[in-house]
Every structure is written in structure tokens, then in C-alpha cells.
Amino acid sequence: MTSHPVPFESPQSDSKAHSRLVSRQNIRDMVWGYGLILPSLLVFLVFFYGPALFLAYIAFFHWSIFASQSTFVGLRNFTTLLHQPIFWQSLLNTAYYVVAVVPATTLLALALALLLREGMGRFGGSFSRALIFLPHVTPVVATSIIWVWIFNPQFGLANVVLHFFHIPPSNWLESVHWALPSVMIYTLWHSVGLYTVLFLAGLASIPRSVLEAAATDGARGWRVFRRILWPLLGPITFFVIVLATINTMQTFSQIYTLTGGPHGGAGGPAFSTTTDSLLIYQTAFLYLHFSLASAMSLILFVLILGLTLIQKWLADRFVFYR
């Protein structure tokens, strides 16, 4: 009785078959993955990337919502802005706002994080953290209205506090010199909680063995902060500064509400609180110059991108990554 030989498959053919099977599985997984995120992608395309591309488009056209056709004007919208004093005033106000708010917010958030970690945390714990973070999750418009009452020159709490310390009262939001600093005070109160939590996360990531070794070597207080904590907090500090810069340059809601936006006086008095974001809104939706507003938006985008790249360049040279 003769026996038939068993077909023999080489290891190479098994490997190719396995590769084809894995490739088909990867394709199926990819299709499923993109199918699951497709709704979110559509939301981004329709409500973010689409409007952004359209904004870049009409910045080079004379475009009106009431006109059926648009006319290509090249860089005329940008040159028009360069001859508008109010545009330069808005850029100066934005620069003043950013230069004042970002360092103050960063330093205060770092100080609060250190207090929560070393001092207040022993007595308050999670309650202290929640209390500091609470203003950040409150609605900007609602709390801005409350701060309008606080800054009221006749019966506001701010002047009551000044009177308690025998300091002359201020007109706050009604003063050309104090209107923008008043908005800064509100922004500091509303946003510092977020950056405090970020610094707390950075402090929690520092190995305790490093601090114990420093204590063994006799390092205490300011020396520990300057030589250990501050260098190790470099990455989170860089992130906080970049995030605070971007958020501050785009500030709109609190300026609009605090300076009388609902009553038509946003940006006052005498344009002292008119920042670039507020001027973009007024140009587009009050005066219906959408092309000029789009050009301003592109300029603001370039400024934010440039500042971020500069900060990244500095971080690559001075920030220590573990």
C-alpha cells in the first residue's frame, strides 16, 4: 500500500501569509478607528478648519455678507489697517495686557502651588485646591457682571477695601488709566486657579528622593527652590507661560462685559480697553467690515504664532527636561 507525501509549506510562505493577515487586520482596525472619530473630525472641519480657511480667503478680498460677488484686493486690507490709529492702539493695549497679566499669573500660580504643597495643604488639603480652582470654572460673563458691581465707584467693594486701608478711591472701569488694570485684576482672579493646578501637577512629579537627598546635604528653603524645584519645574513653567500668553492675547468676554458691552460701550473709556480681539468683533459684527476683521485675525494669529516660536526657542536653551 503506497502512502502519499504530506504537502510541505516552507517557513517563508507561513511568514508571508501571517504578514498578509496582519496587514488586513490593521486595515480593518484603521477603518474602524477613523469611522469612530469621523463625527468629531466633521465637527472640526465644519466649525473650525472650514471657517478658518474661509477667514484666510476673505482677508484678501473685498467681501460683504450682502454682496453676491467678492473682489480680490490683495494686501489692501492689511495696508488699510496699518493706517488706522485705532488698530495700533488695540495692539498696544493687547501688548500691555499680555506683559502685565502673564508674568503676574505665572508667579502667583507658582506661589499658590508652593503654599498648597507645603503649608495650606496640611490644613485645607483638597478643599483649598478646589477653592482656588473654583473661579476658573465659573462662567466668565456671570462673574464679570458681579465684578462690575465690585468695581462700582459709588458702592463697590473695591473702594470699600481701599477706604479701609486709607487709600483714595478709584473710578476703576470708568477711568482711562484704571479700566484695563481692572480687567487684569479680574483675569488674574479667574485664571490663576488653572495654572496653580498645573504647577501642583509639576511639583507632584518631582521625585521625593531628590528632595530627601537635598535635605541630607543641608539644603533648605530658598536654596531648595532655586537649585532644585525651579529647574525641575522648567517644562511646566514653559507650558504655563505659552498657554497663558495664548489665552490672554485672545481675551474677549471679560473685556466686553466689564467695559459695558451689553450697553454699547465695550472697549472704553476712550478706547483704553480696546484689545485686538475686541476690535475684531466690533469691526466684523458692528461695522460689518468682515474683510478687515479677517485681516486683523490673521495678524493676531501671526503674532501668537511668532511669540510661541520665540518662547519655544528660549525653552530649548534654558528649560531642563528630565
Q: Is residue 71 part of a domain?
A: no
Q: Is residue 65 part of a domain?
A: no
Range of the domain at 40: 12-58
DSSP state of 5: P
Is 51 found in the same domain as 177? Answer: no
Is 142 found in the same domain as 27? Answer: no
Q: Is residue 135 part of a domain?
A: yes
Q: Is residue 295 part of a domain?
A: yes
Q: Higher model confidence: residue 169 or residue 2? A: 169
Is 185 found in the same domain as 52? Answer: no
Q: Is residue 216 part of a domain?
A: yes
Q: Which amino acid does the sequence have at 122?
A: R
Question: How confident is the model at residue 8, as a pLDDT?
Answer: 47
Is 50 found in the same domain as 118? Answer: no
Is 52 found in the same domain as 88? Answer: no
Prior bond of 235 cis (ω within 30°): no
Q: Is residue 232 part of a domain?
A: yes
Is 156 found in the same domain as 235? Answer: yes
Separation of alpha carbons 272 and 67, rounded Å: 34
Q: pLDDT tens, 164-218? A: 999 999 999 988 999 999 999 999 999 999 999 999 988 888 888 777 787 777 7
pLDDT tops 60 at residue 115: yes
DSSP E strand stretches across the chain: 61-62, 71-72
10 — pLDDT class (breaks 50, 70, 90) = low
Q: Which amino acid does the sequence have at 105?
A: T
Q: How far is CA 143 from CA 18, 158, 255, in A?
A: 62, 15, 12
Burial class (CB in 10 A: 0-12, 13-18, 19+), 64: middle
- Classify the C-alpha dihedral 263-269-270-272 as positive or negative: negative
Is 262 found in the same domain as 178? Answer: yes
Is 231 found in the same domain as 100? Answer: yes
Average pLDDT of the segment spanning 263-280: 86
Angle CA(95)–CA(101)–CA(106) in degrees, nearest 5?
A: 130
Q: Higher model confidence: residue 171 or residue 129? A: 171
Average pLDDT of the segment spanning 227-232: 84
17 — pLDDT class (breaks 50, 70, 90) = low
Contacts of 252 (CB under 8 A, 6+ apart): 275, 277, 278, 281
Q: Is residue 172 part of a domain?
A: yes
Is 89 found in the same domain as 45? Answer: no
CATH of the domain at 269: 1.10.3720.10
Is 90 found in the same domain as 19? Answer: no
Q: How far is CA 211 from CA 115, 203, 228, 322, in A?
A: 17, 11, 8, 15
High-pLDDT (> 90) share of the chain, %? 52
295 sits in which H/E element: helix 290-318
